[in-house]
Amino acid sequence: MFKVKKPCNNCPFLKNSPMKLHKDRLPEIVEHLDDDGFFPCHKTIDYKEQMNEETGQVTEDLEKNQFCAGAITYLEKHNRPNTPLQVFQRIGRYDPEDYLKHKDKVIDSLEERSIW
Ligand code: SF4
């Protein structure tokens, strides 16, 4: 779940990210994270295997799917790791320092990316 340790170049949480999202999408992702949600890195999702064709929902696979490094960096930068991050840190499977070294590249507030 924590193998991706660096936000990729088009991470939506990066300052000056080239990624275009609907203006409501990033706040929705952050709300999900703040509700103790997991935000899987889309590069690690097997859409053939994990996508329910009827609902369009992706089933999470915590072994295969990695937590988006940009999302983690954003949470840690703002000093509000969600419960899963806190639990995995406690059991020694997650180290916020791996992500905090990228914090200067990550947005300071959602307003920075509100006009897309
Ligand atoms: S979801 Fe994956 S590819 Fe996309 S920004 Fe996050 S780590 Fe990078």
Residue 48 and residue 99: Cα distance in Å, rounded?
30
75 lines ligand 1 (CB under 6 A): no
Ligand 1, atom nearest to 12 Cα: 5
27-79, pLDDT tens digit by residue? 999 999 999 999 999 999 999 999 988 898 888 888 899 999 999 999 999 99
pLDDT digits (tens, 9 = 90+) for 66-92: 999 999 999 999 999 999 999 999 999
Q: How far is the CA of 8 from the centre of ligand 1 (A)?
A: 6
How many C-beta neighbours within 10 Å does residue 33 have?
22
What is the rounded distance in angstroms from the CA atom of residue 87 to the CA atom of residue 2? Answer: 13
